[in-house]
Structure 1
Amino acid sequence: MITLWGEGRGFRVSWLLEEMGLAYRLRDVDLLVGAENDPEFMAMNPAGFIPVLQDGEAVMVESIAIMEYLMARYGPTPLAVDPRDPTFHLYQQFLHLGEAGLAGFIFIAVMTRIVAPEADKDNWSTRESVKLFEARRRLVTRQLARTPYMAGEAFTAADISVTYALEFAKRSGFATLGEAEQAYVARTTAREGYRRAMQTCHATRGWVESLANP
């Protein structure tokens, strides 16, 4: 049985698992309590961050690497574009941009707002992180002016990656989505795989519901 440790970016992995129809269990990890207080989790990832994927003897961290592993290990799947496909470069770019160019920068801003001392909450690094997110977000809006999904006409894992980042930024209050982005997110989140992942990921669902009912 595949075990997914932690939500957060782990939502991407849950969504992918649901899309692929793979059985798994979600093991909660509460980082607000402190990963160091969860010795079972720390034994899986002594660096203390989520998500972690446990698949038999294989243990992996980093959500995009986990997604690539699952698609390669349990594919083929239409969620991964064939390297010979002419849209493969777009698929690769946006699969990784969703974390390296989007969610990663917003994570810095979110963590600063949550844990930094009051005098340090509005600092240069936070402002620069949001600026970098906005600059790379232009690649998404440009692509949406050309095609309905990041790699062209079909939904792929790149859309899971980018949708997570856009929703994370919006829910955290660091971005307002434009019309094209709103329509895009509406398309991707209407999928049954997304809905099943949201039902499985209780912490994520609770966060979303709290924003809708403050």
Structure 2
Amino acid sequence: MAARSFDRRTYRRDPARIWHRQRRRSERIAPISRRCPAIPPVLGDVKMITLYHAATTRSFRIYWLLEELGLAYERKEINYYEGERHGETFRAINPLGSFPVIADEGFILIESGAIINYILRRYGAGRFQAPPGSRDEALIDQWMYWSESLPAIHQRAFWDHCAPPPGCCDNPIPSVGREGKRAFIKTLDILERDLREDGFAVGDELTGADFMLSFPLFLADFDNWLKNHPKVKAYTDRIAARPAFRTAVRDTIDMCVQLYPPRPPRLAAADK
């Protein structure tokens, strides 16, 4: 068989090689704070983590996790409802203006699931984690991802359209919110089927799955949405009884009472 001739032009135009060249070029010019090198677990002294936190938001999950781990951290409070998150100072940290955000020695990270995994892998020393590559680890991922899919979308639709100002969107449509509530409660059938009568989402100990599931479930229970799902209700009660949870959720409860004093008409209508 005749040897194939080498065509430099074809070689350089190969799509895969073009992609790799562009990637190497972007890595050379990317800001160092945006690169994500492999980070070994820290088993000794932990540096101070900064948590940017707003009551009633997903940053509660990180607040609770840090309290459970007993890590040293600084909490910077931001009022979600007074526009502070849209200011230049916070947008310079997170252009999305969303919560949670952590800063760890100049490393900025957003998204609660990513932050939970980062903190546990770097500072958890094995706590609240399953063995790498195990089926339990896969189940933890399953419930972490599930908590931010349909349940979160449906619950957000309810709050956007059935909560009173300033918790609702600019032009709320209550029927959309009521449908969101019905759809959220329907998704609980999956969790009700798979939860045990005791323990937590995956096994006898807390895991990242519980830190993720706690946010939508506690808010749902706050508004009595779990009444027809006894295992979900009992699971939420077990989580809510933990001292670290009670510490972290206190400001969210206070804010909810402040924003939604006893049963505003939209919330009362959504119960029907």
User: Which TM-score tier does this pair reach, normalised by the shorter chain?
Assistant: 0.7 to 0.9
Q: Which runs of 5+ in 1 are unaligned?
A: none
Alignment CA distance shift 1:174-1:182 (3 Å): closer
Q: Which runs of 5+ in 2 are unaligned?
A: 1-47, 163-167, 263-272
Q: Which moved more, 1:130-139 or 1:180-189?
A: 130-139
Alignment CA distance shift 1:31-1:195 (3 Å): closer
Q: Is it true that 1:159 corresponds to 2:210 in the alignment?
A: yes
Distance 2:238 2:224 in 1: 22
Where in structure 2 are the equivalents of 1:102-113 lying within 5 Å?
102-113=151-162
Q: Does the aligned pair in 2 maintain the 1:35–1:49 contact within 8 Å?
A: no
Deviation (angstroms), 1:132: 4.1
- Structure 2 length normalisation: TM-score? 0.67
The CA RMSD over aligned residues, in Å, is 2.6
Of residues 188, 192, 214, the one that matches 2:239 is 188
**Partner of 1:5 in structure 2?**
52
Where in structure 2 are the equivalents of 1:120-199 lying within 5 Å?
120-123=173-176, 126=177, 129-145=180-196, 148-171=199-222, 173=223, 175-177=225-227, 178-199=229-250
Q: Does the aligned pair in 2 maintain the 1:105–1:129 contact within 8 Å?
A: yes
% identical equivalent positions: 29
Distance 1:36 1:76 in 2: 33
Q: Which moved more, 1:3-12 or 1:173-182?
A: 173-182
Higher CA-based Rg: 2
**Partner of 1:93 in structure 2?**
142
**Partner of 1:80 in structure 2?**
129
Distance 1:39 1:71 in 2: 31
**Partner of 1:17 in structure 2?**
66
Distance 1:149 1:32 in 2: 33
Say which SS state the counterpart of residue 89 (structure 1) adopts. Answer: helix
Distance 2:137 2:154 in 1: 25
Q: Is it true that 1:44 corresponds to 2:93 in the alignment?
A: yes
Relative CO higher for 1 or 2, CA cutoff 8 Å, sep ≥ 6?
A: 1
Say which SS state the counterpart of residue 60 (structure 1) adopts. Answer: strand
Distance 1:60 1:109 in 2: 28
Count how many residue pairs are aligned between Structure 1 and Structure 2. Answer: 207
